């Protein structure tokens, strides 16, 4: 059965802009970048002849994010709202939620609310949702490990 979580994939429209956001603003590192070309009969994607650029981002010994840019066929536009079935979000642990919010806000990152703090079992949990440049949902959380 499952032994670990490997990566989370996001299909993107502007690969350079997304790599810049996740590396320059959030501090992740590019771990691997490659071209992926499916044979005419298709591959694991089920898209015959698909041509993709893949960029894996992350931190050493941590969960990875895969940015997938479809060259051919190009991805169709559209996003799911955070409450719709099929919507996803990425969640990042942060040491200081307020400082993260303040820094990213000044850099133009769109947040849903200001950070929210809740007491759970005598521990404080801080949460805030934002969106990356293409509208993917991102959650920043402080104190989650303490409540597990």
Residue pointed to by tokens 């559209």? 78
The pTM score is 0.87
pLDDT digits (tens, 9 = 90+) for 38-95: 888 777 778 888 899 999 999 988 999 999 999 998 878 777 787 787 888 999 999 9
Domains and CATH numbers, the chain: 7-72 (3.10.180.10), 89-147 (3.10.180.10)
CA distances from 8 to 56, 64, 65, 75, 119 (A): 9, 6, 5, 17, 29
């Amino acid at each position: 059965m499952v032994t670990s979580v490997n990566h989370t994939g996001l299909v993107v429209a502007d690969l350079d802009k997304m790599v810049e956001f996740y590396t320059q603003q959030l501090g992740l590192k590019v771990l691997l970048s490659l071209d992926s070309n499916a044979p005419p009969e298709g591959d694991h994607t089920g898209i015959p002849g698909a041509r993709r650029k893949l960029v894996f981002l992350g931190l050493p010994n941590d969960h990875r994010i895969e940015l997938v840019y479809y060259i051919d066929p190009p991805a169709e536009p559209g996003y799911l709202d955070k409450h719709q079935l099929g919507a996803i979000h990425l969640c990042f642990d942060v040491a200081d939620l307020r400082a993260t919010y303040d820094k990213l806000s000044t850099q133009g990152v769109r947040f849903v609310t200001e950070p929210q703090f809740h007491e759970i079992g005598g521990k404080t949990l801080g949460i805030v949702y934002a969106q990356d440049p293409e509208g993917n949902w991102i959650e920043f959380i402080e104190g989650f490990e303490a409540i597990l």
